[in-house]
């Protein structure tokens, strides 16, 4: 094998590896997008299906206007961020910037923090701004694993 | 003639060495000028066409296949530049591609009834006389002879330069020698020598 | 060395190979190199102009797009979630899969793509302009 043949072979291998690597990356990104979309769609469906059970109508509760494009987007299934509009010992109602309400289920696994302190569900008040990390339930709620109260602006 | 050096210089230039390009240009200026002059005549025209040829070659240098030889590639560009020049001037393009394709009689070519002397016996006057006769041939013949004997291109390389088939070039080469032999026969002094 | 089929051809070779090539004017090589250099500079200046225009346009575009989309990115849920990485790392690490999904879900992808595209265009064109300027500024030694 001449030097030229070796070099050409190396170049072909290099290009093939790069193309193959790119294909894998593209497919991985596509899969991640599909998975994320599916999870959001599923959660949004469950939320919608259980809306009347999860939320009571009244002051502070607002259905997203039908014509609002944002209201039509699927909801995040694993997290929530927004203002507390209702709270009791086991449930938190959050309203996000998109005006969509989410029901957050507080379990004994849930860690609630304000600053460096760990607090209880009773310390959460309406109009507190929170960010929540959790797991979606089959009833359209998010089971909170971590609730962090953000500093007031 | 070491033409591997040309390819190395091209590779060096493509890698960023500007002096390699200067070396290439200076090395081939005279050869390209003389080659182009056979089509457009010596003087300013040949210089202008040579310049144009080098610029075209420089523009195409990135596409040059380093596995091939540089000199035939350059000369081909030079030939095309010369033809473009003649077309712009609406001058007659020397018949480099259209000529009588009749088969050459092998008997006229292969058998040499009167063997000629070797190099030691060829006087400088004889050489000059033959050179003049070569220059007096139609350019389609003198070009092939000079590319073959002076520049020492191979017949396939000449075919590449002139954009013709190898058989056509071989045929031209044979015809050129036949025409030259006729001219030598007509020149009695030369025939004696 | 060419191949000869007879002595006449060999004689022609010996005569022709000693031909003196007509020497062109002494400045031809220098003029060729100077012409190439001029062409090089012309192409470089065109490239520089194009890259500079793209840089300016994409920078202005970036400023406009950031004004529109910047707040969407800064105030997005994803940024808040990212802050959890620093404040509550142990919990985030325990639920890393849910955290990863929550980030993916909350990323303002369209805003990021738009802003990143303009930023990339601005940076790439600036880099190409700088590289071209470096070549443009380089002077080949040509004696004319």
Please determine, for residue B2, whether its predicted confidence score (pLDDT) is greater than 80: no
B76, B110: one domain: no
Q: Is C98 on the interface with B (CB under 8 A)?
A: no
B141, B186: one domain: yes
**Which tokens go with B52?**
């144009």
Q: Containing domain of residue B186, as a range? A: 106-192
Report the distance separating Cα A3 and Cα A146, nearest Å: 61
Reported ipTM: 0.73
Would B61 be classed as within a structural domain? yes
Q: How many C-beta neighbours within 10 Å does residue A69 have? A: 8
Cβ contact C13–B134 (<8 Å) = no
pLDDT on residue A97: 78
Cβ contact B112–C8 (<8 Å) = yes
- High-pLDDT (> 90) share of chain C, %: 53
Determine the distance in angstroms separating the CA of C99 from the nearest CA of chain A, rounded to an integer: 7
B61, B113: one domain: no
Q: In this structure, are residues B96 and B140 in contact, taking their beta carbons and an 8 Å threshold?
A: yes
Q: Which whole number is the average pLDDT over C110-114? A: 89
Q: In this structure, are residues C19 and B131 in contact, taking their beta carbons and an 8 Å threshold?
A: yes
B77, B125: one domain: no
Q: Is B181 on the interface with C (CB under 8 A)?
A: yes
Last residue of a domain, one of B88, B115, B137: B88
Binning pLDDT at 50, 70 and 90, where does residue C21 land?
confident
pLDDT on residue A87: 86
Q: How many domains does chain B have?
A: 2
* Phi-psi category of residue A58: left, alpha or beta, with phi > 0 → left and psi -120 to 50 → alpha: left
Cβ contact B130–C6 (<8 Å) = no
Interface mutation vs chain C, best among A36, A69, A149, most C CBs within 10 Å: A36
B110, B186: one domain: yes
C90 to chain A: closest CA residue:
A146
Q: Is A119 on the interface with C (CB under 8 A)?
A: no
Report the distance separating Cα A74 and Cα A95, nearest Å: 15
CATH node for A1-153: 2.40.50.140
Tens digit of each residue's pLDDT (9 = 90 or more) over B65-120: 888 899 999 999 999 999 999 998 876 555 443 333 344 344 333 334 444 445 55
B56, B115: one domain: no
Report the distance separating Cα C106 and Cα C72, nearest Å: 11
What are the φ/ψ torsions at residue A87 (nearest 5 degrees)?
Answer: -150, 140
Would B96 be classed as within a structural domain? no
Nearest residue, CB atoms, C32 vs list B25, B112, B177: B25
**Alpha helices, DSSP H, located in C27-144:** 28-74, 77-87, 89-94, 96-106, 109-137
Q: Is A137 on the interface with C (CB under 8 A)?
A: no
DSSP state of A57: -
pLDDT on residue C48: 93
pLDDT on residue C63: 96
Would B48 be classed as within a structural domain? yes
Q: Name the neighbours of C, counting chains with at least 3 Cβ pairs within 8 A.
A: A, B
B78, B110: one domain: no
B9, B83: one domain: yes
**C110 contacts in chain A (CB < 8 Å):** none
Report the distance separating Cα B92 and Cα A61, nearest Å: 92
B113, B144: one domain: yes
Cβ contact C24–B26 (<8 Å) = no
Determine the distance in angstroms separating the CA of B92 from the nearest CA of chain C, rounded to an integer: 23
Give residue limits of the domains in chain A. Answer: 1-153
Give the residue among A79, A121, A128, A122 at the shortest CA–CA distance from A102.
A79
């Amino acid at each position: 094998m001449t030097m030229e043949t070796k070099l050409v072979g190396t170049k072909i291998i290099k290009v093939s590896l790069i193309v193959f690597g790119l294909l894998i990356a593209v497919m991985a990104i596509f899969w991640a997008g599909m998975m994320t979309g599916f999870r959001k769609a599923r959660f949004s469906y469950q939320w919608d299906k259980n809306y009347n059970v999860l939320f009571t109508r009244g002051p502070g509760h607002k259905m997203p206007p039908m014509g609002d494009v944002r209201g039509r987007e699927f909801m995040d299934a694993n997290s929530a961020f927004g203002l507390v509009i209702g709270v009791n010992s086991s449930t938190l109602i959050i309203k996000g910037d998109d005006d969509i309400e989410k029901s957050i289920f507080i379990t004994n696994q849930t860690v609630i923090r304000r600053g460096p302190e760990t607090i209880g569900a009773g310390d959460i008040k309406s109009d507190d701004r929170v960010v929540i990390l959790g797991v979606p339930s089959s009833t359209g709620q998010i089971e909170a694993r971590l609730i962090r109260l953000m500093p007031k602006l | 003639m070491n033409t591997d050096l040309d390819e190395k210089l091209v590779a060096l230039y493509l890698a960023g060495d500007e002096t390699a390009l200067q070396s290439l240009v200076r090395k081939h200026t005279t050869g390209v000028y003389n080659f182009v002059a056979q089509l457009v005549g010596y003087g300013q025209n040949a210089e202008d066409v040579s310049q144009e040829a080098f610029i075209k070659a420089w523009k195409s240098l990135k596409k040059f296949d380093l596995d091939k030889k540089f000199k035939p590639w350059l000369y081909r560009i030079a030939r095309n530049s010369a033809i473009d020049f003649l077309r712009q001037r609406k001058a007659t393009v020397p018949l480099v591609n259209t000529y009588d394709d009749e088969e050459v009689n092998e008997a006229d070519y292969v058998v040499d009834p009167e063997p000629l002397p070797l190099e030691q016996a060829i006087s400088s006057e004889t050489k000059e006389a033959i050179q003049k006769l070569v220059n007096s041939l139609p350019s389609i013949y003198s070009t092939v002879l000079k590319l073959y004997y002076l520049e020492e291109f191979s017949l396939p390389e000449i075919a590449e330069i002139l954009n013709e088939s190898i058989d056509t070039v071989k045929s031209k080469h044979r015809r050129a020698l036949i025409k030259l032999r006729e001219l030598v026969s007509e020149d009695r002094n030369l025939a004696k020598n | 060395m060419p191949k000869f089929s007879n002595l006449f051809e060999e004689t022609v070779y010996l005569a022709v190979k000693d031909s003196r090539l007509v020497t062109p004017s002494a400045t031809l090589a220098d003029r060729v190199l100077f012409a190439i250099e001029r062409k090089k500079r012309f192409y470089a200046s065109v490239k520089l102009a194009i890259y500079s225009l793209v840089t300016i346009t994409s920078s202005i575009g970036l400023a406009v797009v950031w004004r529109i989309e910047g707040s969407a990115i800064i105030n997005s849920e994803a940024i808040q979630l990212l802050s959890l990485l620093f404040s509550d790392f142990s919990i985030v690490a325990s639920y890393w899969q849910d955290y990863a999904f929550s980030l993916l879900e909350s990323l303002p992808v369209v805003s990021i793509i738009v802003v990143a595209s303009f930023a990339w265009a601005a940076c790439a064109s600036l880099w190409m302009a700088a590289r071209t300027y470096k070549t443009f500024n380089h002077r080949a030694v040509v004696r004319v």
